[in-house]
Amino acid sequence: MTKQQHKLLILLLLGMYTILGTIPMFGVAMNYVTWFGIIYLIASFIRLYPTKLMNDTRFWGWMSLITILFASLSAIVMQYVIHKGAGFFVPDSNKFFAVVVAVSTFLWFKNLNIPNSKVINAVGGSTIGVLLIHANSDAMRQWLWKDTVDCVGHYELPLMQLIFFSVGVVLLVFFTCILIDRIRIRFIEKPFFRWYDKEPRFQKLTNLLIQE
């Protein structure tokens, strides 16, 4: 499709999933397969049609800070002023502040001159593993966040204890999942692909696919 069609498609989908999905009186059913497709369309537009503004590191650094502050403020207002639940504008990935924070921080980090790092690459390469491990089903979410961590049970902690508990739990879960995924790569994925590459029948299949 053309650049204009690409742009209009993104605007249409964001209007449906993000704008309508953030307005309280509308109910938009989230489908993560579809939403990941929308994310791909946004990322591909950034990749295919870069602009001077997209490459402005300072601008997107400030935008990241501002959008994070507004997202936090929206949670406080919803919880203590409107009494409708703290996370309405933030919690799901299609919500307005989730999208603007994600795009702003992505463009900021994209433009940072960070040297190649094996640690960053290892962590980045396992983030999809973190998602698949800690949030792969309702049963996992029940066991991890409700039975084991008991998020609701710690809600009334004093503020500083709540902050340390929340940050500590997130970091612990994140790096535990990273460790599990690195073990999977080391003992399952790499041996499998070494075996796959040595099998003549698979080599023929790979060559046929490349030719096609």
Tokens of 76: 């406080």
- CB under 8 Å to 178, separation ≥6 — which residues? 122, 123, 126, 129, 130
Tokens of 139: 């049963």
pLDDT value at 86 more than 60: no
Per-residue pLDDT reduced to its tens digit, 126-173: 998 998 899 888 899 999 999 999 988 998 889 899 999 999 999 999
- The domain spans of the chain are 115-212
In angstroms, the CA 136 to CA 141 distance is 8
Model-level pTM? 0.72
Give the pLDDT score at 25. 75
Per-residue pLDDT reduced to its tens digit, 15-32: 999 988 888 777 778 778
